[in-house]
A and B are shown apart, each in its own frame.
Chain A
Amino acid sequence: MYDVNKVRADFPILAREVNGQPLTYLDNGASAQKPQAVIDAVTRGYDNEYANVHRGLHYLSNLSTDRYEAVRGIIARFLNAGSEDEIILNSGTTEGINMVAYSWAAPRMVEGDEIVLSTMEHHANIVPWHFLRERQGVRLVWVDPEPDGSLDPAKVLAAITPRTRLVAVTHCSNVLGTVVDVKTIVAGAHDKGVPVLVDGSQGAVHMKVDVQDIGADFYPITGHKLYGPSGSGAIYVRAERLAEMQPFMGGGDMIREVTKDAVSYADPPMKFEAGTPAIVPTIGLGVALEYLMDLGMDNVAAHEARLASYARERFKALNWLNIQGDAPGKAAIFSMTVEGGAHAHDISTILDKKGIAVRAGHHCAQPLMEHLGVPATARASFALYNTEAEVDRLVEGLELCHRLFS
């Protein structure tokens, strides 16, 4: 039995007040709070176990390296990667996708080649591809979501042409909460010989992910959304693709040998990890993922599904509230507008006064906002520690917004 109150007790920040009200933290889509175990690991990392990794032969360097390298295995287990050598540690999904653009896509794409994207991608899964459009004449081919916010895999696959070199699609929309059937998309794209990048920034937070089952070629994740420290993250890259990738950033740690005339590289994944990494945040991420696996991602997903269906039920009674996206099985992410002229910033300002944290704006998904025809929304995104009582508090806050603004 999932005991949400026990879970909440693991997150010290949830006990604080904001504006004289108990904190109701519903901005998890932007970044999640950290359990005590992660906070302790970060503190321990600095106060007792810190040194650079992979370099020294002294005691602390070895300890730090052991702790850091263990995280690769933890991530491989979390994503069910075939091998921990397919896990590249980095600062998160943005870096992961940029690396794919520079290391894998740019060297193999020419003018007129195509990348298929959904309209509901986050800017992190758009802008790196725009770079290729600007610099190399690559064409971006967009697939719109259905009116309910779902993404039809058949439409994604129908957008593939002989010039398609990559499909890049989110596992879970950060605005609509739509969970995309990436397995079907990957299978269909692979039939046509096209690799697929699945943006796991939100998906890995809300459900159990098996990258081998999905078949993804690239699956980036973001540590700070996974209850780990900011500055941590990783990307799963299938061994086949890893072998095709050129180094991205050059520097320490990624080399075998450097002379005045030549350079040879370390084997993957080190080949793609230049410079001193975010050592302690990465160690913290390992602890966060262990925490999630101890809870069980299926249990987390079930808890969030209960919250989502309760929230949908409560929102239904508010006939002045518009929720963007109602795809079956959507994650507990609700982008809202209130009828009566209130701007998303108005809503978030009033909710903040009630101690409720939501995000207001375009959510780094401007093409989607344009498609939806709304300039901005207020987004409530739930996490494993949120409760039905917090849904009630949100509804009260929204009712106050409706009273004030209509």
Chain B
Amino acid sequence: MATEAFEELAEDFEFLDDWEDRYAHVIELGKAMPPLEDALKVPATKVDGCASQVWLMPEIENGTFRFRGDSDALIVRGIVAVLTRLYNGVPVDEVPKIDAAAELGRLGLHEHLSAQRSNGLRAMVERINKLALEAV
């Protein structure tokens, strides 16, 4: 069982049966996510290994993992928004146990699993795990 926010998202996605609708929803999630301030878009928050630019800013408090993020590509922004629902509020020691690929698969975003290199999902998840491990 993932976070409540992610389970809600999974329920929303159950009603979307073609890829255009799923992508449209991912894009909407990205647009609705508050942007990261430019001052936080620095080399330290930038995730290498993504075709477009991605930044992840950790906000870990009292052993609870949270982050904010951004990307210059709208689909990738949407994926970042999905990941915030998957990871935010999870105890830091639970973060590495999350199988992000499988969870995104539940949303019908399978192609993001096979194209990990180009959209940087793997690189983002690796960064999230690293940030969580550093905080343990």
Listed in ascending order, the chain A residues whose CB lies under 8 Å from chain B are 19, 341-343, 345-346, 349-350, 353, 360-361, 375-376, 400, 404-405
Are A404 and B20 in touch, CB under 8 angstroms?
yes
Are A343 and B73 in touch, CB under 8 angstroms?
yes
Instruction: With A345-B51, A400-B20 as known contacts, state yes or no: A405 contacts B72, CB within 8 Å.
Output: no
Q: B7 to nearest A CB, angstroms?
A: 26
**Chain B residue with the shortest CB-CB distance to A340:** B74
Are B52 and A404 in touch, CB under 8 angstroms?
no
Listed in ascending order, the chain B residues whose CB lies under 8 Å from chain A are 19-20, 23-24, 27, 51-52, 72-76, 111, 118-119
Report the bound CA distance from A350 to B51 in whole Å.
15
Q: B21 to nearest A CB, angstroms?
A: 10
Report the bound CA distance from A343 to B23 in whole Å.
14
Instruction: With A353-B19, A360-B51, A404-B20 as known contacts, state yes or no: A345 contacts B76, CB within 8 Å.
Output: yes
Are A405 and B51 in touch, CB under 8 angstroms?
no
Are B75 and A349 in touch, CB under 8 angstroms?
yes
Are B19 and A343 in touch, CB under 8 angstroms?
no
Supplied contacts A341-B74, A342-B73, 17 more A-B pairs, CB within 8 Å = A342-B74, A343-B52, A343-B72, A343-B73, A343-B76, A345-B52, A345-B73, A345-B76, A346-B73, A346-B74, A346-B75, A350-B75, A360-B51, A361-B51, A404-B20, A404-B23, A404-B24
Q: Which of B20, B24, B119 contacts A349 (CB 8 A)?
A: B119
Q: Which of B27, B52, B76, B111 contacts A405 (CB 8 A)?
A: B27
Q: A303 to nearest B CB, angstroms?
A: 32
Report the bound CA distance from A375 to B72 in whole Å.
10
Smallest CB-CB A-B distances: 3 pairs: A343-B73, A345-B73, A345-B52
B residues less than 8 Å from A349 (CB atoms): 75, 119
Q: B5 to nearest A CB, angstroms?
A: 24
